Amino acid sequence: MHFFLRNVNTPALQLSCRMVSNYVNRMRHLSELKEDDEACRKALSSGTFLLFHDLLPLVQKIENKYMTPFVTAAELKKLDLAEKWTEESVLIGCTESLVPQFALDIGKSEQARAELLLKGKFLAFQKAYTIIDRNDISLISQAQALLRWHSTHLYCSRTGKPTQKNASGSKRICGNDEIIYYPQMSPVVIMLVSDGARCLLARQKQFPPGMYSALAGFCNIGESVEDSVRREVAEEVGLQVTSLVYSASQHWPFPSSSLMIGYHAMVQPKQNKIQFDHSELQDARWFDATEVAEALKRKMPRKEEMISFWIPPPWALAHHLIKEWTQKQ
């Protein structure tokens, strides 16, 4: 017993315990701020803020990296955003040291001044998503999705009366009937179909030239995720899924907020003739592991480049599914 106790008290285990403990502290701190309006309002003065203008994020270029900077409450005061800052900010996270992080859309009037004072530029969200540091993607996606949700839920769908957000932005309330609305995102299945030796990739008309990806589609009300995978594959390419395995999930902000749920889906090798839905897809075809491995090495092409076959970039769940399949071949 003494030998066991000496060996579990290692530096690595102590670090792991501290990390777990800090995560728990952060989540509980955020939960408190979401539910306690007064505590959240007090936290605004010590918090930091991601800034948006009409849902476009502020991006700074530092050396060769593009970052989405957090600005302080003091910097917001210089922009004369005191009223907007206290009333319209939404809570999106907190740092390891429990400093609360908020997002704020400043609207059109202060755009030029904010860019000048903060030495940044408000960029189209899709462009920002492709160039910013990977560590910033999760928070910027969450922030934009939450700000968008608030901008489209200003009125109660039952009473037609204005709704009011709570201090943290974790919900909106219709004061007329005390109806509470919570932010929502749509579940979407994304699946890499394989017949064992090859994987199936497809493209839609709106895709950039040459890009092929995994099949994807929204879940219908009443469906399980597994039922959605089987239905989408049947509808889009005329194949019947025989087995499927969950892989991973990802928040996807385009065109609005979705939860992408990723699967590997198998079909019978002898029943793999593609009959794709031309109203949904421009093309769908089988690719072998060698073709896909080569595509994984290619970077997303510039506008002027023409590449006949490339796949979504590394931050997309489709890329993860394709890479995972390739590594198993």
Same domain, residue pair 159 and 97:
no
* pLDDT of 5 above 80: no
Question: Sorting pLDDT into bands at 50, 70 and 90, what band is 287?
Answer: very high
Q: How far apart are CA 89 and CA 143, in angstroms?
A: 10
Of 133, 150, 167, the one marking the end of a domain is: 150
DSSP 164-183: EE-TTSS-EEETTTTEEE--
pLDDT at res. 35: 93
Mean pLDDT, range 158-179, rounded to an integer: 93
More confident residue, 82 or 249: 249
pLDDT at res. 76: 86
Q: How far apart are CA 170 and CA 218, in angstroms?
A: 24
Same domain, residue pair 197 and 314:
yes
**Is the CB of residue 117 less than 8 Å from the CB of residue 71?**
no
Question: Sorting pLDDT into bands at 50, 70 and 90, what band is 7?
Answer: very low
More confident residue, 302 or 209: 209
Q: Are strands 283-288 and 198-203 parallel, antiparallel or unpaired?
A: antiparallel
Please check whether residue 283 lies inside any domain of the structure: yes
The domain of 304 spans 186-327
Please check whether residue 8 lies inside any domain of the structure: no
- How many independent structural domains does the chain possess? 3
Quote the tokens at residue 133. Answer: 């540091």
Same domain, residue pair 204 and 315:
yes
* pLDDT of 13 above 80: no
CB count in 10 Å sphere of residue 180: 11
* pLDDT of 302 above 80: no
**Is the CB of residue 292 less than 8 Å from the CB of residue 199?**
yes
Same domain, residue pair 90 and 196:
no
**pLDDT tens digits, residue range 29-43?**
999 999 999 999 999
**At residue 188, what is the residue type?**
V
* pLDDT of 319 above 80: yes
Question: Sorting pLDDT into bands at 50, 70 and 90, what band is 10?
Answer: low
3-state helix, strand, coil split of the chain in percent (to 5) is 35, 30, 35
**pLDDT tens digits, residue range 96-148?**
999 999 999 997 778 888 999 899 999 999 888 888 877 788 899 999 999 99
**pLDDT tens digits, residue range 213-264?**
999 999 999 999 999 999 999 999 999 999 999 999 999 988 889 999 999 9
Mean pLDDT computed over every residue of the chain: 89
The length of the chain in residues reads 329
Contacts of 219 (CB under 8 A, 6+ apart): 186, 187, 188, 189, 225, 228
Q: How much is the pTM?
A: 0.86
Same domain, residue pair 75 and 178:
no
pLDDT at res. 3: 36
Mean pLDDT, range 200-219, rounded to an integer: 95
Same domain, residue pair 207 and 167:
no
| Dihedral, 247, 248, 249, 250 alpha carbons, nearest 10 | -130
33-70 burial, b if ≥16 CB within 10 A, otherwise e? bbeeeeebeebbeebbbbbbbebbbbbeeeeeebbbbb
**Is the CB of residue 280 less than 8 Å from the CB of residue 236?**
yes
**Is the CB of residue 101 less than 8 Å from the CB of residue 47?**
yes
pLDDT at res. 18: 52
Mean pLDDT, range 55-61, rounded to an integer: 94
pLDDT at res. 20: 54
Position of tokens 């060769």? 64
Quote the tokens at residue 258. Answer: 């979705």
Please check whether residue 13 lies inside any domain of the structure: no
